[in-house]
A and B are shown apart, each in its own frame.
Chain A
Amino acid sequence: MAEKNNVIYLDNAASTQPFPEVVECMNEINEFIYGNSSSVHFKGIEAHRIIKDSTDVLADFLNCSPEEVIFTSGGSESNNTAVKGLGFAVMGRGGNMVTSAFEHPTVLNAVKSMGDFGFEIRICGLNEEGCVCSDDLIGKIDSNTRLVSIMAVNSETGAKADLGEMSDSVKGKNNKTVFHTDAVQAFGKYKLDMNELKNIDMLSASSHKIKGPKGVGLLYIRKGLNIKPLLDGGGHQGGRRSGTENTAGIAGFAAAAGIYKKNQIEFMKKARELNEYLRQKLLDNTYDIRINSPREGSPYILNAAFRGIMSETLLNHLSGLNICVSAGSACSSKKKSDSHVLSAMKVPGDYIGGAVRISFEPYSQKEDLDTLVKEIKAVLPILRRFGKR
């Protein structure tokens, strides 16, 4: 199977193409380092060493100790482990969990499902920039709040939470509350220093959003915090997540993270340029457009809505031209309902159905953005003419 020619892939918030170095490193491990990292023979030790080195790289990235990192099958599992693992650990005491309308469905639904286990669920709203309302959040916290989970960078709009300030105020109100953040869209792209972010207790990250492989992610759990494992078994990873470790995946994850760490500033600059460029170009070349991404948000994501069209039709059209973008976030784009984040942001009704998410990676090309805008500009009048009557 080979890649089609002339693919313009601008759906990097959904998933990315792995770095060639990542693919190479994984191929080698899949072929030769096939031992089980828990085995005591030399093949096991080989695998164990690779996992240890990879853990060091990722822990170094988070400026935490390697024991504070567990590997999972990806962002969804990390989020579920954080929310449910904490919930099951403190279930006897009851209480409430607080999250926001800003969250990815993995957190939102994991928290909601804890309602069945006796927790009261509190969901705070967003302001018009699409960020969590701090006052609303703090107002919802009381002496019985067990968990607060707030996303670092929103996957639909790129809006960014001020995690430091937010976690500080949460702990200021109740220092026993556990603060979790879903950092799937932030990890690798932003500096996340767990030594500085002292009030963040858990953090989820995913490999395939930063040009690593799919099927692997991590959960940072601050030393001293005990959560119940979701997967019991042979006691891998200190009993916190059983199951034979995905050696190649973990090594690929670390390799990708290593590249991001080395180039973090440069990558960020590049993403900013791309974002600024596309933002301006769209505004210059189309009309009745609304940019939903705040300027201060993650430059890797640009959410734009066109009045009076259905984003799905635009996506189908672009896909026919080998251009990949998505509507809202990929996980929700097969559903018919409007984006819960954009609704919470009060995006007007005739715009919300026409929202498109364009997301970059450090090697996205400006010429590709030109092509994208050219094609959108060409088709918009047609799509609008044949809109709903």
Chain B
Amino acid sequence: MIEKVLLVKYGEIMLKGLNRPVFEKQLEKNIKRVLEGKFTFKITREHGRIFISIKGNEDDYEKAAKLVSMVFGIVSVAFAYKTDLDKEEALDAVTAAAREEALDGKKTFKAETRRPNKTFYHKSMEFSAKAGEKVLLEVEGLTVDVHNPDFTVFIEVRKHIYIYTRSVRGGGGIPVGSSGKGIVLLSGGIDSPVAAYLMAKRGLKLDAVYFHSHPYTTELAKEKVKDLADKLSIYCGGIKLHVINFTNAQMSIYEKCPHEQLTIIMRRVMMRVAEEIADSIGAKALVTGESLGQVASQTLESLHVTNSAVSKPVFRPLVGMDKYEVIEIARRIETYDISIRPYEDCCTIFVAKHPETKPKLDRILESEKKIDFEGLVQECLLDIEEIVL
């Protein structure tokens, strides 16, 4: 029987030796999550491949493939025909696949067989030749070109035989959740969502923290961060957003500390609050969208001072990127248009005209004696709104 399936290839996790089953399970779980509620589907696994059959038409397969391809850990998603371990049936499927390509205007092809299942009688080369022969005989207008074909018919002989010509590229990386948990500080700008995306790509399961200063920041800014988290949840396998009421902390700093140190002290409080939340959920890293030298608070001196507030590792995947590189990714993952909505993340009135660009830790610590630093952190932890996206 010939049926349609999505054939999912995953790359790097193949290398992870004894941990492989754990990674595979996580990947399967993440795939399920993006399809659940949208499609009726069945997932099966076979050495190095995941197969998804879906109840629905061509269009449903296209939509499902797009969603699945966004899951990290996947190299590609192919639109495949699945047949029994039967030569004639497989060749029929090869013909069907080739015919679709010919209708699409393609002129030249080749066939390529992989045969992990050695119980199948025909050898790979031999079967490729048979497939080519059959296509030449049955589909008009196609010729063979083994060096530079318009398309390739891939044939994989496993418990079943899978035939495909077309696939979409996956997100790469490793499955979210297989590298532990982290906390991303989400501001509403362009950078932090990209940072979250990149760390999720390396398998980190993320919660997000957003600092809200009502009434100095509008509700719309919070909505914007929610929308960003919602967008990220596709890549992150769901995300929990912790909204911190930050007004009091901000006001205390504003009133008592030197104005040019406001931003840096504020960021230190934020990092500490994020670290506390990390502890409460068992997360072992913080993630920020900082890029070296981008603004005053992201000079090496500033990063050093901010970093000193916490003891957990702080991941800054954008540290060596230019703004345009970040924007390129933001556009691709569709967070850019949300990020550029014109609401301020931390109201401008709390930003000095000439913030310090080379803060010294001892002087910052001196200033922080004027506020109850740890007290402010603990106060922030008392007023948190949690939103699951």
Chain A residues within CB distance 8 Å of chain B: 310, 312-320, 334, 336, 385-389
Contact = CB atoms under 8 A, between A and B. Distances in A.
B216 A313 contact: yes
Interface string B293-306: 00000000000000
Contacts of B219: 316, 319
B214 A317 contact: yes
Contacts of A312: 218
Nearest to B250: A386
Contact of A316 (B217, B254, B342, B349): B217
B259 interface: yes
B349 A334 contact: no
B347 A313 contact: yes
Contacts of B349: 310, 313, 386-389
Interface string B235-275: 00000000000000001001100010000000000000000
A317 B216 CA distance: 8
Interface range for B = 10 to 19
Contacts of A313: 215-216, 347, 349
Contacts of A385: 255
Contacts of B251: 386
7 smallest CB-CB distances across A and B, nearest first, come from A317-B215, A316-B215, A388-B349, A313-B215, A316-B218, A313-B216, A320-B214
Nearest to A321: B215
B83 to A, nearest CB: 52
Interface string B192-210: 0000000000000000000
A67 B45 CA distance: 72
A301 B219 CA distance: 25
B215 A314 contact: yes
A161 B258 CA distance: 51
A336 B216 contact: no
Contacts of B352: 389
Given A313-B347, A334-B342, A386 B215 contact: no
A47 to B, nearest CB: 38
Of B214, B215, B254, B349, most A-chain CB atoms within 10 Å: B215
Interface in B299-349: 342, 347-349
Given A313-B216, A317-B215, A386-B251, 19 more contacts: A312-B218, A313-B215, A313-B347, A313-B349, A315-B218, A316-B215, A317-B214, A318-B215, A319-B219, A320-B214, A320-B215, A334-B342, A385-B255, A386-B254, A386-B349, A387-B349, A388-B348, A389-B259, A389-B352
Contacts of B218: 312, 315-316
Contacts, number: 35
A53 B192 CA distance: 58
Nearest to A319: B219
Majority secondary structure of chain A interface residues (helix, strand, loop or mixed): helix
B335 to A, nearest CB: 21
B249 to A, nearest CB: 13
16 contacts: A310-B349, A313-B215, A313-B347, A313-B349, A314-B215, A316-B215, A316-B219, A317-B215, A319-B215, A319-B219, A320-B215, A386-B216, A387-B349, A388-B348, A388-B349, A389-B349
A314 B218 CA distance: 10
A336 B255 CA distance: 26
A334 B219 CA distance: 12
B215 A336 contact: no
Contact of B214 (A316, A336, A388): A316
B95 to A, nearest CB: 51
B263 to A, nearest CB: 13
A308 to B, nearest CB: 11
Nearest to A310: B349
A387 B218 CA distance: 16
A313 B214 CA distance: 8
Contacts of A389: 259, 349, 352
A368 B259 CA distance: 39
Nearest to B221: A316
B293 to A, nearest CB: 26
Contacts of B215: 313-320
Nearest to A385: B255
A313 B251 CA distance: 14
A379 to B, nearest CB: 8
A336 B259 contact: no
A336 B254 contact: no
Contacts of A387: 349
Contacts of A388: 348-349
B155 to A, nearest CB: 55
B216 A316 contact: yes
A296 B255 CA distance: 43
Nearest to A387: B349
B340 to A, nearest CB: 14
Contacts of B254: 386
A386 B218 CA distance: 16
B374 to A, nearest CB: 23
B250 to A, nearest CB: 9
Contacts of B347: 313
Nearest to B220: A334
Contacts of A314: 215
A155 to B, nearest CB: 21
Nearest to B350: A386
A336 B342 contact: yes
A313 B343 CA distance: 12
Contacts of A386: 216, 251, 254, 349
Contacts of B348: 388
B243 to A, nearest CB: 14
Contacts of B259: 389
B221 to A, nearest CB: 9
Contacts of A310: 349
Nearest to A309: B349
Contacts of B342: 334, 336
B94 to A, nearest CB: 53
A334 B224 CA distance: 14
B151 to A, nearest CB: 47
A182 B219 CA distance: 32
B144 to A, nearest CB: 56
A312 B349 CA distance: 12
Contacts of A316: 214-219
A321 to B, nearest CB: 10
Contacts of A318: 215
A250 to B, nearest CB: 33
B254 to A, nearest CB: 6
A330 to B, nearest CB: 13
A301 B249 CA distance: 37
Interface string B52-76: 0000000000000000000000000
